[in-house]
């Protein structure tokens, strides 16, 4: 009965909310309904359609061609001839790897008489590690990947392990369903590997706002909306974010259903974990093993170790005073804009803006008498960098000064400063100069070191807690003892100041050195000091001995052995080992919270207007979750890639089609809902979707099918009649001629000039870019841009460091999205700024010079041979007679000008005239300069930046 009423009431509420929302927000007429709308074609799971019969026989190479030809026959059109081998191979190379073929690759293909010649090229290129870079970049658009936080501060972040995970997954042809599951819930898979944790970086590619004065919860919700939008666009091909504010006007997604889906994702920490390359992993494994081996030898040579350890355990059990946790109020102004979020355990988590210098003031009233010591605990938290306990990029912090005051409750103005006479800590680093990232430009010598630095009243010194890689991200504690016990019969107002001024000069950069999660306690006990035992040991002590696991016993041993003088040598050996522990990198990841977070339907998407609580669930018009399984993020991930999902497979095969042919079978690739464009070839779309699912979700299978088709191999030349009839080539009666993506434009120029460093993966790089862009007033704050001088200068463009607020100009001019939001369909513009970029941008110029030098060195001895050489490198084909004439005309005119001394050839032909390479034998500078001019023209041709 009760349940029935609740259900009825709920339905009523939903209806009222939906109706009210519609009335208030949507005065414009909406097409009918949000009722279950499975009649729309895209909401029915795809089934394998029959392959159509065609009149013309013998053209089709696979089913794709039958679908295409059948439609062409209906339209009274015929397919175009197959493209020439040179342009076909260039097309295939650009499509599969984003790099042009070398002249020798072209020669090999042209000379290959085998009937399998094309197939061999397809397999060669599908197996290339550059395939993952090419197609990974497109996924990274959908995943809104960037190397910075966005919003005002737009600080650098570390997410390139995720980028490399995408490249690697595609290269290994990870089944698409697993590819998605790992990105949505890799952390929830059993025994999740580092790679699976890294995959959840997909959910963390959202922007982070750490502007001063923000409410972190507001922007956490913005990030949740962004995650939903990204999943909608990239996985489902559905516009789900409309239902953020109200029931979807066109598609049957209800307002509460949006929040029910969000509830799957909402129970997370925004974590950042240490990650290691394969070599670093080996090193770590080695350190762990060696440590265990040395500990085993210690135990072997000390058979009575167990009894001695137990005696030690007894001696240190129960030797700690009783501490009372303080729950103070934080003074808002004193935080410098950082938010101290109170936790139920009495700790405060620092979030939001991270000022590099501040002195937080915390005030609390207490009845406790004889307060003799204060304890400051620095705690871990999954929301801190590398788990904390601090907020610096290493998860550390420094305490410049611990200060306290008190006043009687009866007379709050009668404030007395507390004299702290003694400080102890469980760990302090040895005294050392502050790292350069914390330089505050004051020219003072600032140091971190022992805990006494926190009570010395000196601005330049602070308590430092860096125990080195692998050992630093653990809880720490310090105890501060007063000269006189504090007592007030009517109660005491305590004020504690934690001065944190060991950050750097630029609060808009990652230069904070703040404490991350803190907890304050006090005690009346005499002689309290900081408990020297590592966190977690006392919890093991609390477990009866017989119930302890070998690992727990080993943990105790690792602590105890440090107290045993006869183990000195081994302890030192182990310490030496750990000094070689790799620093690793970090990666933003998603991590499930242990205690649940409730999700509410938000009125108009406003986080301040929560209405009813919602449970995780999926929209009624789509396939349902399996019964009797846990309802969690992993279930949601599996649901997304369920065979019954109507849009998941269609959406990805459509985007693959879009990339090859310029337009998707559904042109609106981000939306398959009722408002989407009708598919040009609905059966083909379904056929490809089913092919994907029935072939182990292998994306390479789909690529192979497409590029093997006759459809793909057609010439892209177009007659005026066909251009008029089908300007956007939706019917594919010809090959598609498409300007390549911005990254590939850069890659082509680097590859053909021989400059390209084809290394795959690693941290993002900083090719030349105008300095002023990274300084105010062009950028909000000063940003780092360390122009590469070495081999990283010429990496593929997908490795270019991506600041969201200051996009790399060359890529921006060629329509590369900046990662603010998910993008599954790029714009493709054709503008004068693009012409200026390829003509004048420094790296294009360096490529033109490099191609010229390469040409005179390797391209033969006559002008004709050299031209042919350079032309073939750039375009994959030999020049036509007319083209040769024009280009050699330019060559001779410019060479003559240099010879006449009208211009200085060194300036044109060398990046640095003072450090030029020696001239090749028999070549003079005028020639190289004139070849530079020719090379620059070649790099600027429409055909060069076009996939024909």
Partner 1 sequence: MNNRNRRWFIEQCGVGMGALALNHLLGSRGQAQGSINPLAPKKPHFAPKAKNIIYLFMAGGPSHMELFDNKPMLSKFDGTLPPPELLKGYRSAFINPNSKLLGPKFKFAKYGQSGAEISELLPHTAKIVDDIAIVKSMVTDAFNHAPGQLMMNTGSMIFGRPSFGSWVTYGLGSEANDLPAFVVFSTGSKGPSGGNSNWGSGFLPTVYQGVQFRNVGDPVLYLSNPRGVDESLQQDSVRTIEKLNRMRLNSVGDPEIATRISSYEMALKMQRSAPELIDISKEPKHILEMYGAEPGKPSFANSVLMARRLVERGVRFVQIFHEAWDQHGNLVKSITANCKDTDQACAALVKDLKQRGLLKDTIVIWGGEFGRTPMVQGGDDGRDHHPNAFTMWMAGGGIKPGITIGQTDDLGFNVTEDRVHVHDLHATLLHLLGFDHEKLTYRFQGRDFRLTDVMGLVVNKLLA
Candidate list 499, 730, 795, 873; residue touching partner 1; CB under 8 A: 730
Nearer to partner 1, 569 or 719 (CB): 719
Candidate list 889, 892, 896, 920; residue touching partner 1; CB under 8 A: 889
Helix (H, G, I), strand (E, B) or coil at 878: coil
Phi, psi of 708 (to 5 degrees): -85, -15
Q: Hey, which residues between 676 and 715 contact partner 1 (CB under 8 A)? A: 676-677
**Greatest distance between any 2 Cα atoms in the chain:** 103
Pick the piece of the chain touching partner 1 (CB under 8 A) from 6-14, 179-187, 435-443, 936-944.
936-944
Which contacts of 636-642 are long-range, i.e. CB under 8 A and separated by 24 or more positions?
A: 636/184, 636/185, 636/261, 636/264, 636/265, 637/180, 637/181, 637/183, 637/184, 637/185, 637/188, 638/181, 640/180, 640/181, 640/184, 640/231, 640/235, 640/236, 641/176, 641/177, 641/180, 641/181, 641/235, 641/697
Report, in Å, the least distance between residue 402 CB and partner 1.
24
Rounded CA-CA distance 669/243 in Å is 19
Q: Is 152 in the site for partner 1 (CB under 8 A)?
A: yes
Q: Is 247 in the site for partner 1 (CB under 8 A)?
A: no
| Residues contacting residue 460 through CB under 8 Å, at least 6 positions apart | 444, 445, 446, 447
Bridge partners (DSSP) listed for residue 591 = 269
Q: Is 562 in the site for partner 1 (CB under 8 A)?
A: no
| Residues contacting residue 690 through CB under 8 Å, at least 6 positions apart | 46, 47, 48, 649
Do the Cβ atoms of 644 and 636 come closer than 8 Å? no
Report, in Å, the least distance between residue 811 CB and partner 1.
11
List the structure tokens of 460.
């330049």
Q: Is 768 in the site for partner 1 (CB under 8 A)?
A: no
Nearer to partner 1, 298 or 684 (CB): 684
Q: Is 890 in the site for partner 1 (CB under 8 A)?
A: yes
Q: Is 919 in the site for partner 1 (CB under 8 A)?
A: no
Q: Hey, which residues between 251 and 270 contact partner 1 (CB under 8 A)? A: 251
Report, in Å, the least distance between residue 925 CB and partner 1.
11
Q: How many residues bind partner 1 (CB under 8 A)?
A: 114
Q: Hey, which residues between 384 and 413 contact partner 1 (CB under 8 A)? A: none
Alpha-carbon dihedral sign for residues 500, 506, 507, 510: negative
Do the Cβ atoms of 553 and 236 come closer than 8 Å? no
Candidate list 472, 502, 650, 739; residue touching partner 1; CB under 8 A: 739
Q: Is 724 in the site for partner 1 (CB under 8 A)?
A: yes
Q: Is 440 in the site for partner 1 (CB under 8 A)?
A: no
Q: Is 903 in the site for partner 1 (CB under 8 A)?
A: yes
Q: Is 78 in the site for partner 1 (CB under 8 A)?
A: no
Nearer to partner 1, 355 or 464 (CB): 355
Report, in Å, the least distance between residue 908 CB and partner 1.
3
Candidate list 52, 321, 337, 762; residue touching partner 1; CB under 8 A: 337
Pick the piece of the chain touching partner 1 (CB under 8 A) from 258-266, 395-403, 904-912, 920-928.
904-912
Report, in Å, the least distance between residue 470 CB and partner 1.
37
Q: Is 654 in the site for partner 1 (CB under 8 A)?
A: no
Report, in Å, the least distance between residue 507 CB and partner 1.
12
Q: Is 209 in the site for partner 1 (CB under 8 A)?
A: yes
Report, in Å, the least distance between residue 719 CB and partner 1.
7
Q: What angle do CA 688, 691, 693 make, to 5 degrees?
A: 115
Report, in Å, the least distance between residue 915 CB and partner 1.
14
Q: Is 659 in the site for partner 1 (CB under 8 A)?
A: no
In what order do the strands lie in the sheet containing 432-433? Answer: 398-399, 461-464, 447-449, 432-433
Do the Cβ atoms of 360 and 331 come closer than 8 Å? yes
Pick the piece of the chain touching partner 1 (CB under 8 A) from 120-128, 361-369, 634-642, 933-941.
933-941
Q: Is 917 in the site for partner 1 (CB under 8 A)?
A: no
Report, in Å, the least distance between residue 752 CB and partner 1.
16
Report, in Å, the least distance between residue 201 CB and partner 1.
19
Report, in Å, the least distance between residue 324 CB and partner 1.
27
Q: What end-to-end distance do the CA atoms of the chain give, in Å?
A: 69
Q: Hey, which residues between 866 and 885 contact partner 1 (CB under 8 A)? A: 880, 882-883
Report, in Å, the least distance between residue 596 CB and partner 1.
26
Report, in Å, the least distance between residue 378 CB and partner 1.
25
Pick the piece of the chain touching partner 1 (CB under 8 A) from 394-402, 435-443, 822-830, 860-868.
822-830
- Nearest CA among 583, 383, 316, 379 for reference residue 471: 583
Report, in Å, the least distance between residue 773 CB and partner 1.
8
- Nearest CA among 716, 761, 708 for reference residue 739: 716
Q: Is 787 in the site for partner 1 (CB under 8 A)?
A: no
Q: Is 933 in the site for partner 1 (CB under 8 A)?
A: yes
SS3 per-residue string spanning 393-413: CCCCCEECEEEEEEEECCCCC
Nearer to partner 1, 541 or 780 (CB): 780
Nearer to partner 1, 442 or 907 (CB): 907
Q: Is 940 in the site for partner 1 (CB under 8 A)?
A: yes
Helix (H, G, I), strand (E, B) or coil at 602: strand
Helix (H, G, I), strand (E, B) or coil at 883: helix
Candidate list 412, 893, 896, 920; residue touching partner 1; CB under 8 A: 893
Report, in Å, the least distance between residue 243 CB and partner 1.
11
Q: Is 31 in the site for partner 1 (CB under 8 A)?
A: no
Nearer to partner 1, 549 or 829 (CB): 829
Rounded CA-CA distance 651/896 in Å is 57
**Alpha helices, H only, 785-880:** 809-813, 832-840, 842-858, 863-875
Question: Rounded to whole angstroms, what are the CA distances from 409 to 374, 486, 812, 863?
Answer: 19, 13, 62, 95
Report, in Å, the least distance between residue 227 CB and partner 1.
13
Helix (H, G, I), strand (E, B) or coil at 51: coil
Q: What angle do CA 729, 732, 736 make, to 5 degrees?
A: 65
Report, in Å, the least distance between residue 335 CB and partner 1.
9
Nearer to partner 1, 388 or 605 (CB): 605
Pick the piece of the chain touching partner 1 (CB under 8 A) from 406-414, 682-690, 718-726, 759-767.
718-726
CA torsion 94-95-96-102 (nearest 10°) is -20
Report, in Å, the least distance between residue 890 CB and partner 1.
5
* Burial of residue 48, with CB atoms counted within 10 A of its CB: 0-12 exposed, 13-18 middle, 19 or more buried: middle
Rounded CA-CA distance 128/407 in Å is 72
Q: Is 84 in the site for partner 1 (CB under 8 A)?
A: no
Q: Is 525 in the site for partner 1 (CB under 8 A)?
A: no
Q: Hey, which residues between 796 and 815 contact partner 1 (CB under 8 A)? A: 803-807, 809, 812, 815
Q: Is 897 in the site for partner 1 (CB under 8 A)?
A: yes
List the structure tokens of 804.
């969201």
Query: What mask of x and - would describe binding to partner 1 in positions 306 to 335, judged by CB under 8 A?
Result: --------------------------xx--
Q: Is 361 in the site for partner 1 (CB under 8 A)?
A: no
Rounded CA-CA distance 429/765 in Å is 33
**916-928 burial, b if ≥16 CB within 10 A, otherwise e?**
eeeeeeeeebbbb
Rounded CA-CA distance 54/60 in Å is 9
Pick the piece of the chain touching partner 1 (CB under 8 A) from 386-394, 492-500, 615-623, 664-672.
664-672
């Amino acid at each position: 009965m009760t349940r029935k009423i609740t259900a009825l009431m709920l339905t009523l509420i939903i209806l009222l909310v939906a109706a009210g929302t519609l009335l208030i927000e949507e005065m414009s007429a909406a097409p009918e309904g949000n009722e279950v709308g499975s009649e729309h074609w895209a909401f029915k799971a795809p089934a394998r359609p029959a392959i159509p019969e065609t009149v013309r026989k013998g053209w089709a190479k696979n089913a794709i061609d039958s679908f295409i030809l059948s439609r062409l026959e209906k339209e009274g059109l015929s397919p175009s001839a197959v493209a020439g081998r040179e342009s076909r191979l260039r097309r295939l190379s650009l499509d599969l790897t984003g790099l042009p073929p070398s002249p020798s690759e072209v020669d090999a293909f042209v000379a290959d008489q085998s009937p399998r010649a094309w197939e061999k090229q397809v397999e060669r290129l599908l197996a290339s590690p550059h395939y993952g870079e090419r197609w990974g970049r497109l996924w990274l658009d959908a995943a809104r990947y960037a190397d910075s936080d966005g919003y005002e501060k737009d600080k650098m972040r570390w997410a390139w392990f995720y980028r490399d995970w995408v490249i690697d997954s595609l290269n290994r042809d990870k089944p698409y369903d697993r590819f998605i599951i790992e990105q949505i819930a890799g952390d929830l898979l059993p025994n999740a590997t580092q790679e699976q944790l890294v995959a959840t970086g997909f959910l963390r590619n959202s922007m982070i706002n750490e502007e001063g004065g923000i409410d972190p919860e507001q922007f956490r919700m913005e990030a949740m909306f962004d995650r939903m939008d990204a999943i909608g666009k990239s996985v489902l091909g559905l516009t789900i974010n409309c239902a953020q504010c109200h029931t979807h006007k066109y598609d049957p997604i209800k307002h509460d259903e949006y929040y029910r889906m969000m509830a799957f994702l909402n129970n997370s920490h925004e974590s950042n974990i240490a990650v290691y390359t394969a070599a670093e992993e080996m090193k770590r494994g080695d350190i762990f093993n060696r440590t265990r081996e040395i500990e085993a030898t210690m135990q072997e040579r000390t058979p009575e170790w167990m009894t001695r350890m137990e005696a030690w355990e007894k001696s240190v059990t129960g030797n700690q005073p009783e501490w009372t946790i303080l729950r103070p109020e934080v003074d808002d102004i004193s935080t410098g804009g950082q938010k101290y979020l109170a936790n139920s355990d009495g700790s405060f988590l620092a979030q939001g803006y991270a000022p590099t210098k501040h002195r937080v003031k915390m005030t609390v009233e207490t009845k406790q008498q004889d307060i003799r010591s204060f304890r400051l605990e620095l705690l871990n938290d999954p929301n801190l960098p590398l788990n904390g306990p601090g907020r610096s990029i290493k998860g550390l912090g420094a305490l410049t000064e611990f200060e306290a005051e008190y006043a009687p409750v009866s007379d709050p103005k009668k404030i007395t400063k507390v004299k702290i006479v003694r400080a102890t800590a469980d760990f302090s680093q040895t005294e050392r100069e502050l790292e350069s990232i914390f330089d505050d430009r004051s020219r003072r010598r600032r140091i971190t070191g022992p805990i006494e630095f926190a009570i010395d009243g000196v601005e330049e010194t602070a308590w430092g807690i860096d125990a080195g890689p692998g050992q630093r991200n653990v809880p720490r504690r310090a105890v501060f003892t007063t000269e006189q016990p504090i007592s007030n019969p009517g109660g005491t107002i305590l004020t504690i100041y934690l001065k944190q001024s060991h950050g750097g000069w630029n609060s808009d950069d990652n230069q904070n050195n703040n404490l991350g999660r803190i907890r304050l306690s006090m005690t009346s006990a005499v002689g309290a000091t900081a408990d020297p035992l590592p966190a977690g040991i006392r919890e093991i002590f609390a477990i009866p001995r017989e119930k302890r696991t070998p690992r727990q016993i080993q943990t105790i041993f690792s602590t105890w052995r440090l107290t045993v003088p006869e183990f000195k040598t081994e302890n030192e050996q182990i310490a030496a080992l750990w000094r070689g522990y790799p620093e690793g990198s970090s990666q933003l990841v998603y991590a499930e919270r242990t205690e649940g977070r409730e999700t509410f339907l938000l009125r108009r998407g406003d986080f301040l207007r929560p209405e009813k609580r919602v449970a995780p669930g999926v929209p009624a018009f789509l396939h349902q979750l399996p019964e009797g399984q846990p309802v969690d993020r992993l279930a949601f991930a599996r649901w997304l890639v369920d065979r019954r999902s109507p849009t998941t497979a269609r959406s990805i095969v459509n985007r693959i089609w879009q990339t090859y042919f310029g337009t998707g079978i559904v042109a609106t690739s981000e939306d398959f809902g009722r408002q989407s464009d009708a598919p040009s070839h609905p059966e083909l779309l379904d056929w490809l979707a089913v092919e994907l699912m029935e072939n182990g979700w292998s994306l390479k299978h789909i690529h192979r099918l497409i590029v093997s088709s006759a459809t793909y191999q057609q010439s892209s030349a177009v007659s005026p009649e066909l251009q008029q009839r089908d300007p956007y080539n939706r019917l594919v009666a010809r090959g598609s001629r498409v300007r390549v993506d911005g990254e590939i434009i850069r890659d082509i120029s680097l590859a053909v000039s021989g400059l390209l460093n084809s290394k795959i993966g690693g941290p993002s790089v900083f090719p030349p870019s105008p300095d002023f862009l990274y300084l105010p007033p062009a950028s909000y704050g000063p940003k780092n841009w360390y122009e590469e001088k070495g081999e990283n200068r010429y990496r593929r463009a997908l490795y270019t460091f991506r600041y969201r607020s200051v996009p790399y100009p060359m890529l921006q001019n060629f329509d590369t999205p900046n990662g603010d939001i998910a993008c599954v369909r790029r714009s493709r513009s054709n503008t004068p700024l693009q012409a200026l970029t390829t003509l004048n941008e420094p790296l294009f110029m360096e490529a033109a010079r490099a191609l010229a030098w390469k040409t005179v060195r390797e391209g033969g001895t006559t002008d004709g041979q050299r031209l042919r050489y350079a032309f073939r490198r750039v375009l994959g084909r030999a020049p036509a007679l007319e083209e040769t004439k024009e280009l050699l005309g330019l060559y001779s005119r410019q060479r003559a000008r240099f010879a006449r001394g009208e211009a200085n050839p060194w300036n044109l032909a060398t990046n640095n005239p003072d450090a030029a390479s020696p001239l090749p034998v028999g070549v003079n500078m005028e020639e190289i300069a004139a070849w530079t001019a020719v090379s620059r023209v070649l790099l600027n041709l429409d055909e060069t930046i076009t996939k024909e």
